[in-house]
Amino acid sequence: MFGAVSSDESRQPEFPGASGDSDAPRLISLHEGGGRDSPTRVTLSFFRLLRILLWMQGRTVLVRVRDIRKQSRLLLFVLGSFVLGYLGVGYFLFYQGLQYVNYFPVVGPLLSQRILFLIFGFFFVMLIFSNLITGYSTFFKNRETAWFITLPIPHRQVFAWKFIEAMVLSSWALLFLCLPLMAAFGRVQQVPLWFYPAAALVFVPFIVLPSVLGAWLILFVVRHLSRGWVKKALVLAGALVLAAVVLGVRPTSESTVGGTEDILSFEQLLRHTRPVLSPALPSVWMTRAVLAWGQGFGPQGTFYFLLLASYALAGLLLTHEVAGRFYYRAWDHSMSQRAETSHFRLHALLERGDRGSPLEPLADWIPFLGRPLRALLVKDLRVFWRDPAQWTQFAVFFGLLCIYVLNLRNISFDFKNEWWGAIISYLNLAASALTLSTLTTRFVFPQFSLEGKRLWIIGLAPLGLDRVLWQKFVTSCAGSIAVTAGLMTVSGIMLGQDFGVVVFFVSAITLMSVCLSGVAVGLGALFPNLKEDNPGKIVSGFGGTLCLVLSFIYIVVFIALLALPTVMELTSKRAGAPPGESALLLWGTYSAAFAMSLLLPVTTMGLALRRVRTMEF
């Protein structure tokens, strides 16, 4: 594409800004250190390049949508129905929750405001992690980036384009989640119509600031991430943070709440949320702008919006002018360290003749896999550990799970009511299942596609792709069961559940782990993307979206079937329902949940095995 632009104007492709302009050849002729070009011309050339790339991405998305529509309109209908269903259900739940909280006397408005501070504060922190993880893959582990580096384009412009790409990939889910929230908040507060475009506008600088912080952190960390002690230091730092949470966050006891006034009880209950009220946080500026516009204080909301926008613009300027200049050095250092590390590992393996990793002796303890499959398992674990974009995101998920389990101590004293005890137990199962679906979609689904162009080597080997698929399924089941069963056991103990109840929920999450692992592995083989080496982009495609949608629908139906007998029993306990009807309902719903949990992975894995057996290379 760029060669056509630079070599011959008469053969330029028909896209905006690339036909009939006298400055078109200068679009590619700008180099680093091109001091003869004025800043205005450099800026103009960057925007011309941006238009070209946006046109290219738009055409690519359009072609993919057309291909999907031609291949299966049913799948496209399912995805569209899920999007509309989420927007409708999300709006209903947010509206009912905010309206319920707003009706509390005295503390209702304060509590709803604190909820918004918590939501946007959490989103801001997660956006930083998301940009850090996605940006690393986009900046330094992307074949397109390596191709752009070889072109006669200023490296700062390559950095700017990849910055925009990482920001979009990291932030689109936030905008999708916040759409029903803002609609529900506007209806509860009875805001004027201009509130909605204003709230949409304030999200732009809000997502820019985490992207700026993530880009700076990436350039800083990539200089040191290749060193062995960095991973150990990060693991140690994570353990210290968890220890600080365990020792520093104390649950609010029933006696403490009962011995204070109402307004003091409110502050005492929410004392752990005070850090999200710091005026130095951009999430606070975002929340105060939304609250001010919702309450009719237009000038105050405009002030916080301009404050947020000014910092976002300053961050963009500094990132482009300063961080962009160091991008090529960081990229070159990353490539050099990767080549040096690979050479060192190969040299040590050939010279010492050792097995090179303690993972292989551990894999020998799994006898039913066989030596070829154990070798593939060790390979997958090594690739996972050597990819910072993978293990850092897993560490973030695991840290959030630990914080979630620790926070269960704060609701244990409300567990005396039988109704609320059942509700909290099933909500705990739902939270664990949704986390499990996120883990399987993010880490399990891309595994088949990450084999890339090297897949033909395994496909032509006597091992066969079908056995490779089974190995990935077994590995996923073992890992997900180990995480979720332990999480469910600890959370059940913290909630004070009986032994039988803990066993019931552990069995349920184990069954869900097997089902969701089969769905992720099967759909990953049915919808592979062998041309992409970025797991984030693989998951963002059609197959990853379908996997997440199908997992979400399965979780909702499964938990509804499990909870239905309990809910019916608690609601009709005073009416004296016959025990036979309750037992019949219980076995019927449990059998349906069990059958669905087996049918779904068997179907997807069967289709995937049929596809890989007939796959051509």
DSSP assignment string, 245-278: HHHH--PPPHHHHHTS-HHHHHHHHTGGGGGGG-
Q: Strand, coil or helix: what is 55?
A: helix
Same-domain check for residues 26 and 78: no
Encoded amino acid at 259, one letter: G
Question: Sorting pLDDT into bands at 50, 70 and 90, what band is 312?
Answer: very high
Instruction: With both helix axes pointing from N to C terminus, report the angle between 195-221 and 155-189 in degrees, rounded to the nearest 10.
Output: 140
142 close to 331: Cβ distance less than 8 angstroms: no
Instruction: With both helix axes pointing from N to C terminus, report the angle between 155-189 and 73-102 in degrees, rounded to the nearest 10.
Output: 50
Same-domain check for residues 31 and 128: no
Same-domain check for residues 434 and 568: yes
Same-domain check for residues 348 and 460: no
| Tally of structural domains, the chain | 3
Q: Who has greater pLDDT, 275 or 167?
A: 167
Question: Sorting pLDDT into bands at 50, 70 and 90, what band is 307?
Answer: very high
Choose one of 21, 45, 70: the last residue of a domain.
70
The residue written with tokens 């109704």 in the block is: 419
Q: Return the exposure string of 446-478: e unless at least 16 CB atoms fall within 10 Å of the residue's CB, then b.
A: bbbbbbeeebeebbeeebebbbbbbbbbbbbbe
Q: Who has greater pLDDT, 40 or 496?
A: 496
Report the percent of the chain where pLDDT is more than 90: 6
For residue 479, what pLDDT is reported? 82
Same-domain check for residues 459 and 343: no
CA distance 540 to 542: 7
Residue 252, in any domain of the structure: no
Residue 257, in any domain of the structure: no
Mean pLDDT of 382-394: 69
Q: Who has greater pLDDT, 191 or 615?
A: 191
Tokens of 388: 């910072």
Choose one of 45, 70, 95: the last residue of a domain.
70
The residue written with tokens 């309902």 in the block is: 585
Between the alpha carbon of residue 49 and those of residues 52, 358, 461, 543, the distances in Å are 5, 48, 45, 30
For residue 139, what pLDDT is reported? 84
Residue 571, in any domain of the structure: yes
Residue 369, in any domain of the structure: no
302 close to 205: Cβ distance less than 8 angstroms: no
Between the alpha carbon of residue 290 and those of residues 189, 297, 316, the distances in Å are 11, 10, 23
Residue 242, in any domain of the structure: no
**Average pLDDT taken over every residue of the chain:** 75
For residue 155, what pLDDT is reported? 83
> Which of 51-65, 366-380, 565-579 reaches the highest mean pLDDT?
51-65
CA distance 447 to 433: 21
How many other CB atoms sit within 10 Å of the CB of residue 443?
21
- Within 13 Å and on the Cβ side, how many CA atoms surround 604? 28
For residue 324, what pLDDT is reported? 79
Same-domain check for residues 475 and 419: yes
Domain that residue 62 falls in: 1-70
Q: Which of 446, 563, 429 is nearest to 507 (CA)?
A: 429
For residue 323, what pLDDT is reported? 81
Q: Is the pLDDT of residue 18 over 50?
A: no
548 close to 516: Cβ distance less than 8 angstroms: no
How many other CB atoms sit within 10 Å of the CB of residue 177?
13
Residue 247, in any domain of the structure: no
DSSP state of 495: T
Same-domain check for residues 62 and 105: no
Residue 372, in any domain of the structure: no
Q: What is the 3-state secondary structure (H, E, C) of 285-323?
A: HHHHHHHHHHCCCHHHHHHHHHHHHHHHHHHHHHHHHCH
Tokens of 382: 């090594």
Range with the poorest average pLDDT among 28-37, 320-329, 334-343: 28-37
Question: Sorting pLDDT into bands at 50, 70 and 90, what band is 613?
Answer: confident
Q: Is the pLDDT of residue 309 over 90?
A: yes
Report the percent of the chain where pLDDT is more than 70: 68
Choose one of 26, 47, 70: the last residue of a domain.
70
Which distant-in-sequence residues (6+ apart) come within 8 Å of 299 by Cβ? Answer: none
Which distant-in-sequence residues (6+ apart) come within 8 Å of 387 by Cβ? Answer: 141
Same-domain check for residues 586 and 504: yes
Range with the poorest average pLDDT among 91-105, 336-350, 563-577: 336-350
> Which of 448-457, 463-472, 504-513 reaches the highest mean pLDDT?
504-513
The residue written with tokens 């925007």 in the block is: 47
Residue 592, in any domain of the structure: yes
DSSP state of 444: I
Same-domain check for residues 66 and 82: no
How confident is the model over 336-368, as pLDDT tens digits?
766 666 555 555 555 555 445 555 555 555 656
Same-domain check for residues 347 and 407: no
Same-domain check for residues 147 and 136: yes
Q: Using CA of residue 507, residue 596, residue 546, residue 456, what is the dihedral sign?
A: positive
CA distance 382 to 378: 6
Question: Both ends of the chain: CA-CA distance in Å?
Answer: 28
Please state the pTM of the whole predicted model.
0.68
Same-domain check for residues 35 and 102: no
Question: Sorting pLDDT into bands at 50, 70 and 90, what band is 205?
Answer: very high
Tokens of 68: 């999907």
Q: Is the pLDDT of residue 532 over 50?
A: yes
How confident is the model over 249-303, as pLDDT tens digits?
555 555 544 444 444 555 666 666 777 888 888 989 999 999 898 888 888 889 9
For residue 226, what pLDDT is reported? 56
